[in-house]
Chain A
Amino acid sequence: MSEIHAIDGNTLTEIYRNFYLARRFEEILSDMFRRGEIDGWLHSGIGQELVGSILGVALTSQDYIVPYHRSKATFLSRGVPPHALIAEILGRQSGLCGGVGGEAHAADVSRGIFGSTGVIGAGFPLALGAAFKQFYQATEGIAVCGFGDGATTRGSFHECMNLAALWNLPLVFICENNLYSEMTPLRKEMKETRIAKKADAYGMPGVAVDGYDLDTTYRALQEAFVRARSGQGPSLVEVKTYRWHGHYEGDPEEYRDKGEVDSWQKRDPLPVLRQRIQDEGILDAFNLDQSEKDIEELLSQAVASAKASPFPTRENLLINVYAQEGSM
C-alpha cells in the first residue's frame, strides 16, 4: 500500500476553507429555517462537516459520491456553488435540480454527486452501480458511499457490502456514526455497535476513527481511497461524529441530554484546525480573517441570489418524468 503522507499546508488550508464554508452554510440555513424561509424540512449536518470537507480534497473529478444525507459539506467542497444548493433547498428554479428535488434529493451529476435520496439505505445499491461503472470502463475513478449508523440496519447494507467485496469493486463505504438514528440511540439500533467490525464478515477491511480528529480521519479515508483506486477493492470507514442539532430542525430532542451535546461541541475541530494553520505558519490571522470574510461574502450573495430565483414554473414541474431520445 502506498504511503499516506502527513497533510501539507495547502491541503490543510483547503480543508479549513471547506469546513468553514460548510459550517457557516449550516448556520445560515438553520437561521433561515427558524425564520420560516424554508418549506418542508431541514436536516442539519452541523457538527459533522469534517468528512465532507475532506472529500473535496481527497477525491478526483473522476470519482463518484453518493453523499451522506446530512452532508451539505460534500456538495460544497466538491465545488457546487452555494447559491445553487441553497436555491435547491428553497425549491427554486435556479437550484441544482431546478428546485424539484430539495434538500434530501439534491444532486450535481456534473460534479459526480448523485444518489442522494429520502430513503435511508437506498444509496448503497446506487453507489454499487457507480463503482461497477468505474470497473466496467476500467477508469481510474472510484465511488464513495456516505451514510449514517442507522442505515446499516437496512437489508441493502448487507447485500451491497457482500457484493462490493465479492466483485472487488472500487467502492469506499463511509459511515458517519453520530450515535443516533432519529430519536433512537445506537444501542437500540443494533447489538454490535462497532460498525467498522462488520466489514470482517464480508471480507473487507473496516476501520473506526475519531471524526473530530482531522489527521486520523484524513489518513483512514485516504488509505481506503488508495486501496480502491489500486484495485484492492472496497473498505468500510466508520467515522465517529456527532450532530449538534436535532434530527430535523425543530426536533425537541427529548432523547438526549444537553451535556452530551456540549461535550462534543467543546471538541469542535474547526477552531483547532484554524489554530493549527496559524501555528504551523501556513497562514496568519490576517489571511485567515480575509478568507473567512470572502466566504461570508460568497454566502450572503448566494442567499440573496437563491431567494431572488423564482419557484419552478408549472411547465417545468411537468417535464423530466420521461427522457426523450437525445435529451442527454
Chain B
Amino acid sequence: MSQLSYRRAITQAIDEEMARNPDVFLIGEDVAESGGAFGLTRGLLARYGDRRVRDTPISEEAIVGLGVGAAALGLRPIVEIMFMDFMYLAMDQIANHAAKMRYMYGGQVQIPLVVRTLSGGGFRAGMHHSQSLESLFGHIPGLKVVMPSDAYEAKGLLKSSIRDPNPVIFMEQKSLLGAKVSVPDDEYLIPLGLAHVQRPGSDVTVVAIGIMVQHARLAAEELFKEGIEVEVVDARTAMPIDSETILASVKKTHRLIVAHEAPAPFGFGAEIAALIAEKALYYLDAPIIRVTSQFTPVPVGRSEDYILPGAKDIVDAVHRSLKGG
C-alpha cells in the first residue's frame, strides 16, 4: 500500500491504462505540455508522446465530438473538460451523439469514451466553476456517471471507466484533489454500478455521492460519539444506481438520508427517494431527508460555504430522522 493523493490517483489510472492499451489517448486544454491546469496529467506527455497526449484549443464541442467519433470507430479517448460547467458547450455531442449513437445505429457501434471533468465547489470561484451536474447526465439514456469519493475510488473507477464500452462522465471532485488515502500497489479495478458500504451502522443509512461521502464519514464519526450508528453508503455512480445495496441498507436501518452537493430538485436524492418509495416504503420509520445545496447558483468566495452542504447538515439530518423527521 502507498499513500496517494486524489490527483495522482487520476494520473496513475490514466498512465496504467495508456500503457495497457495503445488505443487509449488523452486530449484536453493544457493537459500535455503543462501537465494539466491542476496537474492531474503531469508526466503523461513525456511518457506517451504527442500523438497520444495532446493539448487542444478552447473548443469544447470539437474535442468531445472528436472523442465520440474516434470512439465509435474503435479508439478509447479520454477527453478532459477543465470544469464541469463547460460540459454544457459539448452537450450536443454528449447527449445527442455519444449517448444515442449505439442505439440509433442499431448496435453497430459502441462509444468507449471517458469525459473527465472537475466538478463541485472548493475553489470558491463562483457559478461557472463549481457545478455538480450528475443528475443532468444521469437523466440521459446511454451515459454512465461516476463520482469518486477518494483517491482509492478514483483510481479503480477511472480504470474501469476507460475500459467500459459506454460513454462515461467522470466527475473529479475538485475539493479532494490533494487528499491522500492508502492505495494498493498492485493493480485493482472497481466495477461501475456497485455501491460501497463505507461504514456499517444500524441506526440510519446515509447514501452519499462524491465529496459528500467524506462529509458523511465525518458526520458518522461525530454521531458515533453520541452512540448513533450511521451506515454510510458511497453510491460511487449516479448512473447506474446500485439499488440492491441501497435497498438492503434501508431495510436494515429503516431511515434514510441522501447527500449530494447539487441542488435537490430532480437530483440524485430524488431518484433514490423514488427508489425507496417504490420498493421499500413500508420499511421506513421516518421520512427520507435530502441534504443538498441550496437551489441557487454557487456564489463566489466564502458565500459558497453557506450554499453548499457539509458534515454538520448531515448530523442535523440524522438527528431529525431519529426524531421521526
Given contacts A40-B123, A102-B125, contact A181 B301 (CB under 8 A): no
Shortest CB distance B117–A (Å): 14
Check A104–B34 contact: CB distance below 8 A.
no
Interchain CA distance A239-B62 in the complex, whole Å: 26
Asked if A190 is an interface residue, CB under 8 A from chain B, the answer is: yes
A105 in contact (CB, < 8 A): yes
B residues near A104, Cβ cutoff 8 Å: 125-126, 128-129, 300
Chain A interface: which of B52-60, B98-106, B252-260? Answer: B52-60
Is A238's CB within 8 Å of the partner chain B? Answer: no
Question: Which single member of A117, A119, A183 contacts B33 (CB below 8 Å)?
Answer: A183
Q: In the complex, which residues of chain A have a beta carbon less than 8 angstroms from the beta carbon of B125?
A: 40-41, 102, 104, 118
B125 to chain A: closest residue by CB: A40
With beta carbons under 8 angstroms apart, the residue of A117, A254, A255, A321 that contacts B296 is A321
In the complex, A311→B127 CA distance in Å?
17
Chain A, range 105-152, C-beta contacts under 8 Å to B: 105, 117-121, 150-151
Q: Are B33 and A39 in contact (CB under 8 A)?
A: no
A100 CA to B89 CA, complexed, in Å: 23
Bound complex: CA of A250 vs CA of B294, how far in Å? 31
Q: Which residue of B lies closest to A314 (CB)?
A: B306
- Hey, what's the 0/1 contact readout for A70-101 against B, CB within 8 Å counting as 1? 00000000000000000000110000000111
- Contact A39 B58, CB 8 Å, known A102-B125, A105-B127, A118-B126: no
Produce 1/0 per residue, A146-163, CB < 8 A to B: 000011011100000000
User: Which residue on B lies nearest to A155, using beta carbons?
Assistant: B61
Say whether, besides A312-B299, A317-B299, A39 and B128 are in contact (CB < 8 Å): no
B29 part of interface (Cβ distance < 8 Å): yes
Residues of A within 8 A of B33 (CB): 183-184, 188, 255
Report B-chain residues with C-beta under 8 Å of the C-beta of A150: 57-58
**B129 touches which one: A118, A154, A312, A314 (CB < 8 A)?**
A118
- Is the CB–CB distance between B294 and A39 below 8 Å? no
Are B55 and A39 in touch, CB under 8 angstroms?
Answer: no
Which of chain A's residues has its CB closest to B301's CB? A91
Instruction: Scan residues 265-304 of chain B and give those whose CB is less than 8 A from a CB of chain A.
Output: 294-297, 299-303
Q: How far apart are the CA atoms of A16 and B85 in the complex, in Å?
A: 38
**Residues A105 and B300 in contact in the complex (CB < 8 Å), given A181-B57, A182-B30:** yes
Residue A103 at the B interface, CB < 8 A? yes
| Cα A40 to Cα B125 with chains together (Å) | 5
Whether a CB of chain B sits under 8 angstroms from the CB of A323 is no
Q: Which of A102, A151, A314 has the most CB of B within 10 A?
A: A102
Residues of B within 8 A of A155 (CB): 59, 61-62, 89
- B21-54: CB near A (< 8 Å → 1, else 0) gives 0000000011001100100000000000000000
Which residues of chain A have C-beta atoms less than 8 A from B306's C-beta? 314, 317
Instruction: Give complex CA distance A39, B130 in Å.
Output: 14
**B109 interface hit (Cβ, 8 Å):** no
CB <8 Å contact, A190 and B57: yes
CB closest residue in chain A, given B61: A155
- Chain A residues, CB < 8 A from B127: 101, 105, 118
Q: With the chains together, A100 CA to B129 CA distance in Å?
A: 13
Within 8 A of B (CB), among A165-200: 181-184, 188-190
Assuming A182-B30, A183-B33, A318-B294, is B55 touching A105 (CB within 8 A)?
Answer: no
Q: Is the CB of B299 within 8 A of A121?
A: no
Q: Which residues of A contact B60 (CB under 8 A)?
A: 154
The answer, yes or no, to whether B199 is at the interface (CB within 8 Å) is no
Q: A119-B86, A317-B307 are in contact. Are A101 and B57 (CB under 8 A)?
A: no
In the complex, which residues of chain A have a beta carbon less than 8 angstroms from the beta carbon of B29?
181-182, 184
Chain B residues closer than 8 Å to A102, beta-carbon distance: 125-126, 299-301
A105 to B85, CA, bound (A): 14
- Which of A105, A181, A184, A317 lies in contact with B128, CB distance below 8 A? A105
Which listed residue (A90, A117, A189, A254) contacts B57, Cβ 8 A? A189
Is there contact, CB below 8 Å, between A321 and B128?
A: no
Taking a contact as CB atoms under 8 Å apart, the answer to whether A103 and B296 are in contact is: no
Set of chain A residues within 8 Å of B62, measured between Cβ atoms: 155
In the bound complex, how far is the Cα of B57 from the Cα of A181, in angstroms? 8
- What's the minimum C-beta distance from A158 to chain B, rounded to whole angstroms? 10
Which chain B residue shows the least CB distance to A154? B58
Query: B58 and A153: CB pair below 8 A?
Result: yes
The docked-state distance in angstroms from the alpha carbon of A181 to that of B37 is: 11
CB<8 Å pairs between A and B, sample of 25? A40-B125, A40-B301, A91-B299, A91-B300, A99-B299, A99-B301, A101-B300, A102-B125, A118-B126, A153-B59, A154-B58, A155-B61, A155-B62, A155-B89, A182-B34, A184-B33, A184-B34, A189-B58, A255-B33, A314-B306, A317-B299, A317-B303, A317-B307, A321-B296, A321-B297
Given A40-B126, A101-B299, A104-B126, output 12 extra A-B contacts at Cβ < 8 Å.
A39-B124, A40-B300, A99-B301, A100-B126, A100-B297, A104-B125, A104-B128, A105-B128, A183-B30, A183-B37, A184-B33, A190-B57
List the 7 closest pairs (A to B, CB-CB), nearest first: A91-B301, A118-B128, A102-B300, A153-B57, A39-B301, A183-B34, A100-B299
Which residues from chain B sit less than 8 Å from chain A, CB to CB? Answer: 29-30, 33-34, 37, 55, 57-62, 85-86, 89, 123-129, 294-297, 299-303, 306-307
